[in-house]
């Protein structure tokens, strides 16, 4: 083990810090059923890494040409807001790892495709909201997804930490690739919904873990 090789840690939420992917599986099933169809094959994989708005625009273009992106966003918010506010849990090891990084002086940011109205009540309920120095959503980068890395660069600017001193924690290939594209370290957190992409993520990432408490294997902590 060595000392922590980064000054800032940028965390995705769905599938990385939050055990929320089953929520989206249910939302997708209800949403598409309401529109008279089954969830399209590989839908979750196709939209992984897109912003919330990009996902809505893609869904309209590919599957529901009679709808509007804003209409879909409103439906998804209605179906998911209560789940996040009341039920979505942290993934194993997430809270402990966040506290360890704070004690070691690492600055923390959220970098998510979720809108603040969805993630802020969830993080507050889970008792980790105050641990973060910055909260960044793809909504703050013009709705662009993670593949280009803009949301990570935004977080780095707000934290006043150069990209080369930042580490990104992600569970989807687009996120890992976007982090590497802008010169940051990237750690892959394994999640069942993105298992098909795990070999590709592992090839790009600086490390891969099943749970965040396994990050102890990569560095020492100052307690």
Q: Which of 145, 187, 147 is nearest to 166 (CA)?
A: 187
pTM of the entire predicted model: 0.84
CA–CA distances in Å: residue 169 to residues 2, 34, 195: 18, 34, 16
Q: State the burial class of residue 220 (Cβ atoms within 10 Å of its Cβ: 0-12, 13-18, 19+).
A: exposed
Contacts of 196 (CB under 8 A, 6+ apart): 45
pLDDT tens, residue by residue, 144-179: 889 999 999 999 999 999 999 999 999 999 999 999
Torsion-angle region of 154 (φ positive above 0: left; ψ -120 to 50: alpha; else: beta): alpha
In the chain, which stretches have pLDDT less than 50? 1, 221-223
* Ramachandran angles phi, psi of 180, nearest 5°: -65, -35
Tokens 């959220």, residue? 110
Q: Cβ(1)–Cβ(217) under 8 Å?
A: yes
Which of 150, 149, 113, 156 is closest to 133 using CA atoms? 156
pLDDT for the residue numbered 220: 57
Tell me what pLDDT residue 77 has.
87
């Amino acid at each position: 083990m060595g000392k922590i090789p980064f000054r800032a840690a940028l965390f995705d939420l769905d599938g990385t810090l939050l055990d929320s992917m089953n929520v989206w599986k249910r939302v997708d099933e209800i949403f598409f059923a309401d529109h008279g169809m089954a969830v399209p094959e590989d839908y979750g994989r196709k939209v992984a890494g897109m912003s919330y708005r990009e996902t809505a625009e893609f869904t309209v273009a590919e599957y529901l040409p009679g709808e509007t992106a804003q209409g879909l966003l409103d439906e998804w918010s209605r179906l998911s807001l209560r789940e996040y506010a009341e039920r979505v849990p942290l993934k194993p090891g997430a809270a402990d790892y966040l506290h360890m990084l704070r004690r070691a002086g690492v600055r923390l940011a959220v970098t998510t495709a979720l809108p603040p109205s969805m993630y802020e009540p969830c993080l507050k309920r889970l008792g980790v909201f105050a641990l973060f120095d910055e909260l960044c959503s793809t909504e703050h980068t013009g709705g662009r997804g993670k593949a280009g890395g803009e949301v990570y660069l935004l977080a780095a600017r707000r934290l006043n930490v150069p990209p080369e001193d930042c580490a990104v924690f992600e569970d989807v290939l687009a996120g890992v690739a976007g982090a590497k594209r802008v010169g940051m370290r990237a750690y892959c957190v394994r999640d069942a919904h993105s298992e098909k992409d795990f070999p590709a993520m592992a090839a790009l990432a600086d490390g891969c873990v099943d749970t965040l408490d396994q990050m102890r294997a990569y560095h020492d902590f100052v307690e």
